[in-house]
A and B are shown apart, each in its own frame.
Chain A
């Protein structure tokens, strides 16, 4: 039987028991809360952005949208990774086109295509076109109107970046707590897995007609049952929970340990026991009724062999089952407008976190 580590479960389960009895399941699928969640969840917590190995060289970057904000995640000349709003400090134009982590862009500077303001990789304004500085080159400009741009104050808007191993997280909050506070004891667990030794093999993105929390709740429901891990008897799986993460671990026949982590608010990390690799899947909301599942698979050298392709097919089948379960939960919620969440309902746990009911935030 699935085992609970009660010492770690206490913070969530107590609150959920208090709060969920008054919660309507329909609140979870109501599109209005999504606008609020852009601030209270996606604007507040650390969000998974991508994998550091995908931007291994200075100047490489990818874009990531969190809530309504489009970000550039870039490796600087000094090797440090920074993130900025993808918005020019001049007129607020979008600077770089959407660039997925799987096909990163590159360059020694970031330049806005509209008026050619150019920024260093650390976000500082480097140059503006001569026509901004020399009135004789610009019929719309008088000498007295020429401004001197302070490079520091006209830089790109910084967004906080932190990492657990190679997994990069961003926070839109002005003053976020340390990432380790959100990830908790999982920081050490994940770092001990040496995830940086793996390269990206494949990305699959799909859309689901469900609120993101419904899908997250279904994922947690499966974690709790221990049935997300292929061929495991429930007694093989151990579940640990804490405020903002859930973990199922299992070892078969003395082999590699399979692990499935769920990190609040929307990331799963699956360490496989049948191939040398792991996968991540983030659940990104599109709106209040739909979300996008973005799954990435990592293997030692990035080249997929047949057994790894088979592992991806297996993961997809399991994700299809997850989507089916989420669809049933969505239908259940819609069918019973006043449905009450069970105290141990994992969706209730998510609701607890979304509404900020946990005591320590």
Chain B
């Protein structure tokens, strides 16, 4: 029997960056297929192609063995394919019913009848939803049910869900799993896009593992285990992991966090009881899937967030109540992960961006005005030292390449961070040469005796640069380890929220 859906050699570029390369797999009737991979592995992209939101640059899609032309979500829906987006696509101001019937009704709407129909559909699947409720008033978990009902209303036969449990409580997740099993038992198919191993082991029949835009594994759940999946997902090319083996950093304690918690509006804390120390001349790595509290951790140290409890000390002095300016003055540099949003002003010149975070500092002033000569001199020096490809201090930042923009931030923050530099995903989106450059800078600053906090979702980076590291999972540390203490599989399990049963030194 032919597969319900067959993807053949799907390739997709986003302005010359490969998002999918030669992706081929099938989706069978009545199965739960997990699409597993790290962030940026290309899982969502390939499914958005199947749903008609993106157009593939190459490759074919077959349904029941026949070539299917999918140019828009409408085409996909006509083939019985529906996709629930990660951040949903509901109209907050409209009622549940209005959201469900959008695009699926014609002509006049009989509201009462539509409400009744939606109520009946909800009851049939055991969902407790008021059809007349305003979607914006509903909890996220309930909004997801609205999305599911929308798909069922369209009589979908393949339901694609993008990270569906990311927003759910464990109980809601259990309910969702129950629904998925029930839905597929009627001959329908479900694709589960996820990076959570536990979820995959709980619900999937078959698993497609993706890495760097390619399929790195296609396995039946019965034939595999979490370790193998973790290895396939993360890969083993730890080429530069053991490059520099310098002596253990022996400096005094620079930065000390003691049971720091950050609250996210009373809900689950985004950081809970985080304690660690970084010594002078030490790189401390934070591994983990992004969105597990990394940004909060960086911001609480640089002063953008205030902890609800706990203390932060720099060279023995409490800094948790100081504002960002004060912390900048004490020598904390911060290279944020989203450089466009948090680090740079793209329409200003390179020199102005160099000045951005220390503009209050009198050293830039001469007779009350900005000392252009001095600023230009500092910028010229940065251009030379960091080999920034820019026409000069007056170059508009937008005209620089991504790698050179990153060098501008790094130059500025290295200058500011006399004591401590926080690097949050410093190499994301950079090409190999630029990555190598950033790594060199991190090593050089470490050698100068600065304390360095390195946040990265790339394990190779963490293992290649850190003296010690920890894994962040849901705002908590999963123990602190020396560079060579764990295998990649073990780290993968920690990142997925498992605890190590044997061998792992719990910190």
Asked if A pairs with B, the answer is no
Binding site for B on A (CB under 8 A): none
Binding site for A on B (CB under 8 A): none
